[in-house]
Amino acid sequence: MPDMMRRRLNWFLGFFAATLFFAASVSAEQPRPTPAHADAAIATVHLLSRYHYQAPPLDSALSAKIFDRYLKALDPARLFFLQSDVNDFSYARTTLDSAILEGRLDTPFLMFARYTGRVKKVRTIIQELLGANFDFTVDESFEPDRSEAPWAASDSELREIWRKRVKNDWLRLRMAGNNDAAIRRTLAKRYSHALDRSTKLNSDDVFQVFMNAWAGTLEPHTNYLGPRAAEDFSISMKLSLVGIGAVLQERDDYVIVRELIPGGPALRSGKLNVGDRIAGVAQGEKAVMIDVTGWRVDEVVPLIRGKQNSIIVLDILPVDAPPDGVHRQVTLVRDTVRLENQAASGSIREIRNNGQLQKIGIIKLPSFYQDTEARRKSPQFRSATRDVTRIIGELKRDKIDALLIDLRDNAGGSLDEAVSLTGLFIDSGPVVIQQNSRGQTRVERIPTTGMTWEGPLGVLINRASASASEIFAAAIQDYGRGIVIGEDSFGKGTVQTLIDLDELERSPQRRYGEIKMTIAQFFRISGGTTQLRGVSPDINLPSLIDAKNFGESAYENALPWTRIAPVEFRSAGNIASLLPALALRHEQRVAQNKDFLQFKEKAAELNTLREVKSFSLKESIRRAERDRMEARAKARSKNTELSSGSEDSVEDEVGDDGLLANERSLSNELAAEKARKSARDVLLEESANILGDMVGLLRASSSSEVAQREKPR
């Protein structure tokens, strides 16, 4: 491996799927492959074939898998392509391998062009359907998931698929009390925006979709990140950027200000408000204003980010102004913006346990972040471990009795951070074993001795806790250092590295993007991997997450579970001896907890709903089903202030209004989000109670030992 590449290989673990926003593009031209795309594809072939953990040869067999995955990426619900389209491109099943090897990318772009043509025909179908009337007395059904259905054989069959889809959307709005005129306006706008977003991708977007179809055939966590996606990934790891400090969102034909980040230039200036629409951007007070109306948010963001202390001018249509209202210009100076809402945070929950007041410290850790760029320059760099160390110090000053690390929805991050964070709770020893494709192993050990927290410890996980989260939770569990609470974790037991293709190709500009490539597996110090099976908690809690369709086991090409020889380590506690008593007290408590029982009932109901594959389009049947669901929801809300306490809720306990998230007013959307965040978290409450039980049991055990030692002999 070249020295330059070795220096660039920053080791990361994490469930960072490359995301692509299917939104309106600035350019109306049909996307075409560029020389940079060909270079990136050829470079990626060599990298994956040499360094991937288990890359199969790029041959006709793999070509067929790439072809199917690319079709699925373009048309996952099989709502646009006909079987004849698939047949027309069937030659590519056995030729994509040689095309990639030679940098010939015409076929993927031709397939995308056919897709956009089909989308235009569907637009015509939808316009016709919205002009007609639906009969809701007919007993017919709608199947929302068509991912495994056959491709439509004809235009008429495709029209029938869309007729039922539009009818279902119409029925939902109708049942919410909307009249036909309002429904027609809502759906016309909805479909117009959706179809615009799906057809007007630029060349880099199409290339990224195709590259990820290829990378995804190897295993789930190998991805191609285009230049913009690579920059976003870097920001997510260092939790800072240079910009104006505003969270942006697409809404109608504008990119709007959804949130002002504390400490950022936008909030400090007092010149921007939530809901303001960005109509133009200029790179300085005398620079030309670029009209960005109708642009994608990921195309506007690069114009707003920039160099420290540089000037940016925004053309703003105020939130309360009509579409033809008066614009105003806002001048801001770019500055470093810290994303504190994505950093570790601490709080204290007070509980009563056997009449005694106990303080349970809680640290919410959204990811295992580390500013690797700053680390290379200075020992004072931003990291998850540093932030957690500081928060523990603050909690200790408040004299907490136990500490709970909340890793729910933590998808991973830096391997270094997973290891060093473990060292805050275990004095020394191994944390995780890595094994490369040649079977060679390397043990990652705690870098320094000396714990930051020696008291009772708990780790709260859910199905979305992945990778580095699983390393940390598994180590705490294997050492017997603390109790793991929640549900089976994601099951990602693989190691990725990022390779910067621009640096590899010595490109002075960002043209080629990055490859996130699986190069090893990690194993618990007890020998088993977390791959596929995840970490199983010591005490289980109910969940609203669809475990069957979310997690490593949901991937068709995930690596299997396996085991290697364990390494020597010294136990750091004897939590196992407390588990029977902790589990008993937990079961006795939740059996009397109305909120917890209602949460459990909601989780069971959601699992039942997930098994429903089709919905009736007969209004009387649909209304009866809705009335039964709302009655159960009202019964729950009447007796409880139930909340999921996490971002894993499928729907709030409200009636279906038939609208998509961006169709509701921004104020209502933000209010609902605020309510979810401030609502009771029954899972966190019970986890704190379990730790309170642990504190009591440990104190009782300690008192018993003291009594035994002091007993006359």
What's the rounded Cα separation, in Å, for the pair 248 and 259? Answer: 7
The token pair at 479 is 């050492």
Q: Cite the beta strand spans of 334-388 per DSSP E.
A: 335-338, 345-353, 356-364
Q: What does the DSSP assignment read for 42-111?
A: HHHHHHHHHHSSSPPP-SHHHHHHHHHHHHHHH-TT--S-BHHHHHHTGGGGGTHHHHHHTT--HHHHHH
Give burial (CB, 10 Å; 0-12/13-18/19+) of 480.
Answer: middle
3-state secondary structure string, 403-421? EEEECCCCCEEEHHHHHHH
Please list, residue by residue across 14-24, b when 16 or more beta carbons sit within 10 angstroms of its beta carbon and e when fewer do: bbbebebeebb
Find how far residue 694's CA is from the centre of its chain. Answer: 32
Q: Which residues contact 468 (CB under 8 A, 6 or more apart)?
A: 13, 14, 368, 410, 412, 413, 414, 415, 417, 418
CA nearest to 552, candidates 467, 434, 477, 486: 467
For helices 682-710 and 594-610, angle between their N-to-C axes, nearest 10 degrees? 130
Residues in the chain: 713
> Which residue carries 């491109």 as its tokens?
89
3-state secondary structure string, 413-470? EEHHHHHHHHCCCCCCCEEEEEEECCCCEEEEECCCCCCCCCCCEEEEECCCCCCHHH
What's the rounded Cα separation, in Å, for the pair 601 and 619? Answer: 27
Q: Which alpha helices (H) appear in 244-380, and where do they start and end?
A: 265-269, 297-304, 372-377
What's the rounded Cα separation, in Å, for the pair 590 and 71? Answer: 47
What's the rounded Cα separation, in Å, for the pair 601 and 598? Answer: 5
Q: What does the DSSP assignment read for 111-175?
A: HHHHHHHHHHHHHHHHHHHHTS---TTS--EE-S--TTSPPBSSHHHHHHHHHHHHHHHHHHHHH
- β-partners of residue 433 are 443, 523
Q: Cite the beta strand spans of 230-288 per DSSP E.
A: 240-243, 246-251, 254-260, 277-282
What's the rounded Cα separation, in Å, for the pair 262 and 264? Answer: 6
Please list, residue by residue across 126-162, b when 16 or more beta carbons sit within 10 angstroms of its beta carbon and e when fewer do: beebeeeebebeeeeebeeebeeeebbeeeeebbebb
Which positions are annotated as active-site residues? 467, 478, 492
Name residue 64's amino acid: A
What's the rounded Cα separation, in Å, for the pair 258 and 275? Answer: 6
CA atoms within 13 A on the CB side of 528: 14
Q: Would you report the helix, strand and coil content of the chain in percent, each value rounded to 5?
A: 45, 20, 40
Q: Which helix (H) or strand (E) holds 501?
A: helix 501-504
Q: β-pairing, 328-333 with 457-461?
A: unpaired
For the four alpha carbons of 48, 54, 60 and 65, in that order, the dihedral sign comes to negative
Biggest alpha carbon–alpha carbon distance for the chain: 95
